[in-house]
Structures are given as structure tokens and as C-alpha cells.
Amino acid sequence: DSGVTQTPKHLITATGQRVTLRCSPRSGDLSVYWYQQSLDQGLQFLIQYYNGEERAKGNILERFSAQQFPDLHSELNLSSLELGDSALYFCASSEPYTGELFFGEGSRLTVL
Amino acid sequence: GNSVTQMEGPVTLSEEAFLTINCTYTATGYPSLFWYVQYPGEGLQLLLKATKADDKGSNKGFEATYRKETTSFHLEKGSVQVSDSAVYFCALSDPESGAGSYQLTFGKGTKLSVIP
């Protein structure tokens, strides 16, 4: 158990819909990272938050957005969903001094 | 930009065989290098890491040496077990990320299957 909690574990929805994925980092970790894992693209970094503020942005689509709340949990919002958004979405938090990332078990999104 | 290239899988080995998974990288500056493992149905776990040239990371019988001259970080294990069956990811941390930021660039992963 990494200590990072993601919900839901599985989600099936239709094209055009909007979903929200939730992540609770390990106790004491201030950074949250979101990654997308798909068969064709591999693991792609989407976005990072540090103590409530956006720190870095990767290959995140404009239809996607994220935020980190005062209690440090984070949400990834995916809107106007397309078939190609079907993927496993991972959240991770980082140990502040070593930089080791701890990953949650992921949320598997299926868009039909 | 930064990139990681690792050998395509899947790799199938018999128990007690020697394992090598090749990984090379492209980065500006001096990245830290990592191997992560993903067991079926689980998230990624850090297997080992190296933070500077010639460092050797090791864990659970796996080893990898940070080779700056060849920009490589190959994963090796002398005798694999069935329980090592998983997907292995090579990754680097962006040295330009700044303090407190450890975004990783991953390779595409190599699936290892170990048969009894």
C-alpha cells in the first residue's frame, strides 16, 4: 500500500460526458502528480500541483483540468470525453526530500 | 526534450534465468534515473534509483548502473523468479524541474513474464 488513494477504481461513461477523478496523497506529501497510461502513448505526465498551486504542466489537453484543495487532495476533471481518453489515470505524491514518487492504484476510465 | 527508450517487450524467461532490460535516455543536464515496477492490477512502485553518474541502484536482487558516457541505465537480475513477472519502466527526473518538483519521463515499459 503506497498510501496514495484514488477513486473511483473503474469508471465507464459515454462520449461527450464529464468525469472527476479524485486523489488523496500520502500524509505529509505536498505534491500531487497526474499521469495518463494508455497502450499507445505509455505513461504521460499531465500536471503537478504543489501545496495548492500548479507547479508543472505536461501533455494535458485543454478539455482536462485539475486542482488541489487546502486539505491537499486533488481532482482531475475530464470533459467532452472522447473514445481516445480511455486510459488508466494515475495519481502520485512525492516524498519531499528524495523525490521518490508514490503511485496510487489508478482509475481506469472507459469511454464508450 | 527529455526522452527514455527501453527495449520492447514482452520478455519471457524461465525461472533462474538472467535478466537484462535495456534503457537509454536523452536529457539536458544531469537527471536522476529510476526503475519502477508495475505488478498486475497495481500502481507503479519504485524498484531502484541512481542520482549521479556511476551510481549503482539495487533492490530485491535487481541492479542498474548510471552510465553517463553511454546514457544508459540497464536493469539486470541474475536469477529471476516467477514473482518478478511484471511491467518494468525506466524513467528520468527532469533536472530542470526545480526544487520540490520531480516530474518523471517514462519509457514505454517492458513486460516480463517468468515461467516455472
For A99, the closest of B42, B44, B93 (CB atoms) is: B93
Query: Mean of the per-residue pLDDT values for chain A?
Result: 93
Report the residue of chain B nearest A94, measured CA to CA.
B102
CA dihedral (B2, B6, B10, B12) in degrees, to 10, reads: -150
For B44, the closest of A55, A56, A103 (CB atoms) is: A103
- Dump pLDDT digits (tens) for B59-86: 999 999 999 999 999 999 999 999 999 9
Res. B93 pLDDT band, cuts 50 70 90: confident
Q: How many residue contacts between A and B have a Cβ separation below 8 Å? A: 58
Res. B97 pLDDT band, cuts 50 70 90: low
Say which residues have a Cβ less than 8 Å from residue A98's Cβ, sequence separation at least 6.
Answer: none
At B22 the pLDDT is: 97
Res. B95 pLDDT band, cuts 50 70 90: low
For A94, the closest of B43, B45, B102 (CB atoms) is: B102
Mean pLDDT of B106-115: 95
The distance of B15 to chain A (nearest Cα, Å) reads 27
- Dump pLDDT digits (tens) for A17-61: 999 999 999 998 999 999 999 887 788 999 999 999 999 898 899
| A96 cis-preceded (ω within 30 degrees of 0) | no
The distance of B51 to chain A (nearest Cα, Å) reads 10
**B-contacting residues in A 4-43 (Cβ below 8 Å):** 4, 30-31, 33, 42-43
Set of cell numbers at residue B111: 513486460
Residue B83, Ramachandran bin (φ over 0: left; ψ between -120 and 50: alpha; else beta): alpha
Res. B98 pLDDT band, cuts 50 70 90: low
